[in-house]
Amino acid sequence: MIVVTGGAGFIGSALIHKLNQIGRKDIIVVDELGTDDKWKNLNNLQFIDYMEKDFFLEFIADDYEGKSKFEAVFHMGANSSTTEKDMSYLIENNFEYTKDVAHYCARNKVRFIYASSAATYGDGSQGYKDDHEGIVNLRPLNKYGFSKQLFDNYALKTGLINEIVGLKFFNVFGPNEYHKGNMRSMVLKSFEQIRDTGKVKLFKSYKKDFGDGEQKRDFVYVKDVVDMMVFFLENDKTGIYNVGTGEARSWNDLATAVFDAMGKPVKIQYIDMPESIRHQYQYFTQAEMSKIREVGYSAPFTALEEAVKDYVQNYLMNNTLYLG
């Protein structure tokens, strides 16, 4: 059996969809469904059982006898808000929770694949290379990134990383993200803005090296992301790896791709960036992808325009929010 924590969330539910596609239905979903609509992501998926997070933690705390029948745990469960202010909450949900599950898997020889983040790279001054020697020196710009960096460093310093896999997700977008509120991708936000107003609002730049809307990100389609995740299920590799495309594109490029997919003229309005996030804003991210290539992942990455077109035309314009 395969466990997916955060299985009702964006990447977790997309992963379960991919696992279903390759014939895996022996899945246990772990999440905290709460009051939002992410439960709808589970409607079209096939799995054996569902557990709330607290119940799952009680289960693994009691299982010290090697009784686990799990083949793998994909640990996607975390608070993913880059603007979360409660550091203690992030430590509990992103660091301690991950430690508990990782040690359970190590005790029971269960494959453990967890979500890190490109937010750990901070301002990018030390590059975006996923070599272990450089990772310990990274300085995230926000509390979310710091909570993810804590576990990466813990796994490296304790040697646990030699038994597990960490994945540094860059800017992921695609179906199943509708419930994420302000943390939804700019593809979805742009679609809604164009649909409702005919234009897209992007942040002005506050660095002379970047024009307005020319801040760049490594945007990666969720369908490519889950392909990479399944690769690590099927191949006995360990360590920390970037999950991106290796190509940075501007917010202007992304917005233009959405306009084109919708068949609308490009109209972009540049607005002031809130002062509260200016000091922690990343102006450039680009995953170094040679490491994952070197361990055998060879599938091509979907070009931004192609991925946006698929998402917009086959999902958003059809009012289809889910994979399935």
What is the rounded distance in angstroms from the CA atom of residue 4 to the CA atom of residue 114? Answer: 10
Task: Look up residue 62 and give its amino acid.
Answer: D
> Can you list the alpha helix ranges (DSSP code H) found in 159-197?
186-197
Tokens 């693994």 correspond to 60
Tokens 């955060």 correspond to 6
Let me know: does 127 contact 246? Beta carbons within 8 Å: no
User: 53, 180, 199, 264: which is the annotated catalytic residue?
Assistant: 180
Active site residue 144: yes
Active site residue 97: no
Let me know: does 141 contact 119? Beta carbons within 8 Å: yes
User: What's phi and psi for 223, nearest 5 deg?
Assistant: -65, -35
User: 97, 114, 128, 144: which is the annotated catalytic residue?
Assistant: 144
10 Å Cβ neighbour count for 20?
A: 17
Helix axes 222-234, 10-21, angle to 10 degrees: 60
3-class state of residue 143 by DSSP: helix
Shortest CA distance to 34 belongs to which of 77, 82, 85, 96?
77
What is the rounded distance in angstroms from the CA atom of residue 21 to the CA atom of residue 186? Answer: 27
Active site positions, annotated: 144, 180
